[in-house]
Amino acid sequence: MVSNGNGERESGTGGAPYGMGNPPEEPGSAFRRPRRKDRAEGEPQDQAPQAQQSKVGWSPYDEGSRSRAPLWFAISGVAVLGLLGGGLVLMWNADDPVPATTARPRMTTVPLPSAPPGKYGFAASRSTDPDPISVKEIFGSKKKITVSKRSYERTITKKDKKCDDGALGDDLKKALKSGKCTQLLRASFRDKSGKVIGTIGVANLTTSKAASKVAKAGNTKNYVKPLAGKDSVTKFLGSGSGGTRILTHGHYAIMVWFQNKDGTKPDKKGTKQLFAAINDITKATVFEALDNRSVTGSPRI
């Protein structure tokens, strides 16, 4: 299916869907072609490609499930909590020994909160994870990150006043409203070479069920609105072909749009690079922050 930048299906333009072949297309992910008027604010009109606009036709993820269980973090989180709860380390000055008559320090431990049952723990619901998310928490304080010797840079962020402002498509907007979305944060990234660019959006819903409904609403007409930067690379976000997908983590919906800078349909090698960029960036930023909330029930500091 093909769509324009307003989340509307194109008609009479000669556009046609096409698939990557590998990985197979799934519900909630596809290519789409946004109209020029829907490019994010701040993008110079005279530098955007004139002929090609976005269309959706491939999925940047090949796994079947939309949910992402934080198993690896939960395991490591439990281990960390075990270390924290094991006791206190006593320290003293070796040059000033404690007299024999001095009472030995009493060992104490601080009770740790028990996470609710389930794979998302505290993050399963806003009732157990009430603190609002922030751009710094979700996307990190550093603009540049490196994962497995692959480097990326965050070029722009935005905290949308209304969730509708960062979403395209009536069904998606309806799902966000139904799920009582209170926040939608977006950030755009580029790789070191400037060939891969993309936008990640995180929506704060009431429950895991509400987040799942948002994910199910994702398709060629309903996805995160690409956030164009003011730099010479990410200013092209939203033009040409892009891959979109909506994932969930507890009561959060994670929406992604990634593409080649020149807007061309990625070949096998290009698709692999897009997969790597999406996985690297989301794991190092969004999922790391949300995994922490699952275990601790608090924002990461």
- DSSP alpha helices (H): ranges in the chain? 71-85, 135-139, 170-178, 208-217, 268-284, 286-296
- Please tell me the distance from the alpha carbon of residue 172 to that of residue 115, in angstroms, as a whole number: 31
Question: Is 242 contained in some domain?
Answer: yes
Q: How far is CA 274 from the centre of its chain?
A: 14
Question: Is 103 contained in some domain?
Answer: no
Question: Is 43 contained in some domain?
Answer: no
Q: Which residues contact 205 (CB under 8 A, 6 or more apart)?
A: 126, 176, 179, 180, 181, 211, 214, 251, 252, 253
129-151 burial string, b = 16+ CB within 10 Å, else e?
beeebebebbbbeeeebeeeebe
Closest by CA to 30, choosing from 212, 165, 154, 168, is 168
- Please tell me the distance from the alpha carbon of residue 175 to that of residue 156, in angstroms, as a whole number: 26
222 neighbors 189 (Cβ within 8 angstroms)? no
Closest by CA to 195, choosing from 136, 259, 254, is 259
Question: Is 56 contained in some domain?
Answer: yes
- What sign does the dihedral 164-165-170-172 (CA atoms) show? negative
- Alpha-carbon distances, residue 124 vs 61, 153, 205 (angstroms): 23, 30, 10
Residue written as token pair 């297309």: 25
- pLDDT score at 115: 79
Residue written as token pair 């092209």: 236
- pLDDT score at 111: 59
- Please tell me the distance from the alpha carbon of residue 273 to that of residue 260, in angstroms, as a whole number: 10
46 neighbors 261 (Cβ within 8 angstroms)? no
Question: Is 190 contained in some domain?
Answer: yes
Phi, psi of 286 (to 5 degrees): -60, -55
Strand-pair category, 144-147 with 252-260: unpaired
Strand-pair category, 242-249 with 252-260: antiparallel
Instruction: Name residue 247's amino acid.
Output: L
Question: Is 169 contained in some domain?
Answer: yes
Residue % of the chain over a pLDDT of 70: 62
Concatenating the DSSP letter of every residue in 233-295 gives TGGGTTSS-EEEEEEEETTEEEEEEEEETT-PPP-HHHHHHHHHHHHHHHHHTHHHHHHHHHH
* pLDDT < 50 stretches in the chain: 1-53, 61-67, 69-103
- Please tell me the distance from the alpha carbon of residue 244 to that of residue 239, in angstroms, as a whole number: 13
Question: Is 101 contained in some domain?
Answer: no
- pLDDT score at 112: 58
Question: Is 107 contained in some domain?
Answer: no
* Residue span of the structural domain in which 73 resides: 50-82+113-296
- pLDDT score at 149: 92
Instruction: Give the count of domains, the chain.
Output: 1
Strand-pair category, 150-159 with 144-147: antiparallel
- pLDDT score at 58: 54
Q: How far is CA 221 from the centre of its chain?
A: 19
